[in-house]
Structure 1
Amino acid sequence: MVDSTIEAIATTPPQSYGRRALKRFLKRPMAVLGLAFLVLLALIVIFGPLISPYSFDGQDFSLIGSPGPMTAEHWLGTDELGRDALTRLIYGGRVSLAVGLAGAIISTLVGTVVGAFAGFYRGWTDTLLMRFTDVMLSIPTLPLVLLLSGLFRPGPVLLVAIVGTLIWMGTARLVRSQFMALREREFVEAARALGAGGFRLMFRHILPTAIGPITVAATLAVGSAIMLESALSFLGFGIQPPVPTWGNLLNSASSWLSVAPWLAIPPGLCILFTVLSVNFLGDGLRDALEPKE
């Protein structure tokens, strides 16, 4: 009996790191639920405007003047300009998610490069880059973004650049700590002994080993970027109407909150559940990619 058990264990192929991480991730129900919500939301905002009978800026002139009620033709009613609220909500989700995702990608790239150089080369390079990071952290992000947005009145592309270049500092610190720990490992010393240069050591040998924490940081940056874009648009400094985003939909609906709350509640709930889902997904990825056991 013992021999057969030992033989069964010996003949069982070892699971790959990816499969073990997937099994750990699937044991986190909130992370799985968050991922399912984000996938469903992405499908809705991508394909919803294609099948909607209305355009995001199309007007029904018979309904202009005040928000319209929820009807079979307009499930979430219409705004004061006679535009279908559901279509604008879906299209606004497309813009908000795109800005959040692109901003997170930029912030992750910037933070990874800064943290990699600081952690690998150390010395004056580390001092210079980390002091610059500390200066950026000491500046309140929202007032700085408000100032830049007020000066340039950004469209989607410029807003993505502004958001992405102002939320990279946490990723830079994380990557720096990972590179400082990994640069002394045996596989790095072996690659260095074989003649690998600094860039090859950083981006061919160390970076793939640190990809787990970077992935988690990138996931959480999406939520931060969505919140920042929504706050800017709500305050009137982000993407300007008639292009809808969840933030400027909330701004427009705030004037009619007492008579048409159905215009404000859906975009607010979309922001809330999207950011919660991103955070749940990030927590699940952290537990899956960096197990404590």
Structure 2
Amino acid sequence: MTDATVPAAIAPASPPQSYWRRVTKRFFKRRLAVIGAAFLILLGIVVTIGPMVSPYSYDYQDFDLLGMPGPMSAEHWLGTDELGRDALTRLLHGGRVSLAVGLAGALIAGIVGTLVGTVSGFYRGIPDIILMRFTDVMMSIPTLPLVLLLSGLFRPSPPLLVAIVGILIWMGTARLVRSQFLALREREFVEAARALGASGPRLMFRHILPNAIGPITVASTLAVGSAIMLESALSFLGFGIQPPVPTWGNLLNSASSWLSQAPWLAIPPGLLILFTVLAVNFLGDGLRDAMEPRE
């Protein structure tokens, strides 16, 4: 009597992972990107809460300490500036302003660049020629001298500075979005939607744009670092946000006069600018590798 062959049990297939779950798993394998993200989150928490719990306001002056920067002490952990103001409080408040300008400027750049790239890449022809030649002209203009000119003319408030920064760093995002739309507009799912009668705006914003969100996210993340650097350079040169409102750039400007006597006033804002831009770049590189894997 022969034994009946028992078929081997078939293990149930694991459900396919979603796109964002795969992106998250790939992102957490990038150590520098994770460190950069953790640093930015911690920095955002510190500059948001720090000025609230500080016993001093950013413009409070101790008139007994006027004339010379004060040394680091238990009352003033990073010392005081020549006007008797607590350096740590001003550093934290300046970080709040610099990060806000960077994030808001990058957001404006992302929106403007996405709109220009979307219209140019989808319609091609005359709109593409006009928009891309305008983009080329904007890219050929040195950014810093133009921003210095605009800042000198308008003496910008923080909202105006955000607008100036945002409208001058959108060009890279526009070219990236255009290239994505040129590649995606001929894909089968777009042709199917077009055959079903979808209008141009629906095709652009409902079908094509969601498939280009990865590169747009990466470009917008990297634009944050550019915006922070641009704002810091303007404030350092005296054309950005004006004292007594602190930013990392104008803190460096005011500390440069006392560099030999009180280097502790210049080192912290300089290091925070450096580490913040590095963290943003690490984060952007990690997002790019996670959203557009090469392997």
TM-score range, shorter chain: over 0.9
Q: 1:3 to 1:131 in 2, by over 3 A?
A: farther
Other structure's SS at 2:57 match: coil
**For 1:12 and 1:146, how far apart are their aligned partners in 2?**
57
Are 2:90 and 1:88 aligned? yes
Are 2:48 and 1:46 aligned? yes
Q: Which is further off, 13-22 or 101-110?
A: 13-22
Q: Please state how far the C-alpha of 1:15 moved relative to its aligned partner.
A: 1.2
Query: Once superposed, which parts of structure 1, at least 4 consecutive aligned residues long, lie more than 3 Å away?
Result: none
Instruction: Return the letter of the residue paired with 2:217.
Output: T
CA deviation profile, 1:228-263 (whole Å, cap 9, x unmatched): 000000000000000000000000000000000000
Give the structure 1 partner of residue 195 of structure 2: 193
Between the two proteins, what is the percent identity of the paired residues?
80
**For 1:196 and 1:13, how far apart are their aligned partners in 2?**
32
**For 1:105 and 1:196, how far apart are their aligned partners in 2?**
29
Q: Pick the aligned partner of 2:181 from 159, 171, 179.
A: 179
Give the structure 2 partner of residue 240 of structure 1: 242
Q: How many residues align?
A: 289
Q: Please state how far the C-alpha of 1:3 moved relative to its aligned partner.
A: 4.7
**For 1:20 and 1:117, how far apart are their aligned partners in 2?**
30
Instruction: Return the letter of the residue paired with 1:283.
Output: D
**For 2:134 and 2:48, how far apart are their aligned partners in 1?**
39
CA deviation profile, 1:253-281 (whole Å, cap 9, x unmatched): 00000000000000000000000000000
Instruction: Return the letter of the residue paired with 1:114.
Output: V
Give the structure 1 partner of residue 223 of structure 2: 221
Are 2:75 and 1:73 aligned? yes
Other structure's SS at 2:69 match: coil
Question: What TM-score results when the alignment is normalised by the length of structure 1?
Answer: 0.97
**For 1:147 and 1:20, how far apart are their aligned partners in 2?**
46
Q: Pick the aligned partner of 2:252 from 250, 253, 271.
A: 250
CA deviation profile, 1:9-35 (whole Å, cap 9, x unmatched): x43121111111111000000000000
Give the structure 2 partner of residue 28 of structure 1: 30
**For 1:198 and 1:34, how far apart are their aligned partners in 2?**
39
Q: Pick the aligned partner of 2:269 from 264, 267, 270.
A: 267
Give the structure 1 partner of residue 103 of structure 2: 101
Instruction: Return the letter of the residue paired with 1:22.
Output: T
Q: Please state how far the C-alpha of 1:205 moved relative to its aligned partner.
A: 0.5
Q: Please state how far the C-alpha of 1:130 moved relative to its aligned partner.
A: 0.2
Instruction: Return the letter of the residue paired with 2:227.
Output: A
Question: What TM-score results when the alignment is normalised by the length of structure 2?
Answer: 0.97
CA deviation profile, 1:154-202 (whole Å, cap 9, x unmatched): 0100000000000000000000000000000011011111111111100
CA RMSD of aligned residues (A): 0.9
Residues 140-151 of structure 1: pairs in structure 2 closer than 5 A: 140-151=142-153
**For 2:223 and 2:49, how far apart are their aligned partners in 1?**
25
CA deviation profile, 1:204-229 (whole Å, cap 9, x unmatched): 11000000000000000000000000
Give the structure 2 partner of residue 284 of structure 1: 286
Other structure's SS at 1:40 match: helix
Structure 1 stretches of 5 or more lacking a match?
A: none
**For 2:110 and 2:286, how far apart are their aligned partners in 1?**
19
Q: Pick the aligned partner of 2:205 from 203, 206, 212.
A: 203
Instruction: Return the letter of the residue paired with 1:35.
Output: A
Q: 1:19 to 1:3 in 2, by over 3 A?
A: farther
Q: 1:66 to 1:12 in 2, by over 3 A?
A: same
Give the structure 2 partner of residue 129 of structure 1: 131
Other structure's SS at 1:53 match: coil
**For 1:276 and 1:135, how far apart are their aligned partners in 2?**
29
**For 1:93 and 1:233, how far apart are their aligned partners in 2?**
13
Q: Pick the aligned partner of 2:19 from 17, 37, 42.
A: 17
Other structure's SS at 1:11 match: coil
**For 1:171 and 1:13, how far apart are their aligned partners in 2?**
35
Give the structure 2 partner of residue 57 of structure 1: 59
Other structure's SS at 2:15 match: coil
Instruction: Return the letter of the residue paired with 2:78.
Output: L
Instruction: Return the letter of the residue paired with 1:201.
Output: L
**For 2:198 and 2:8, how far apart are their aligned partners in 1?**
47
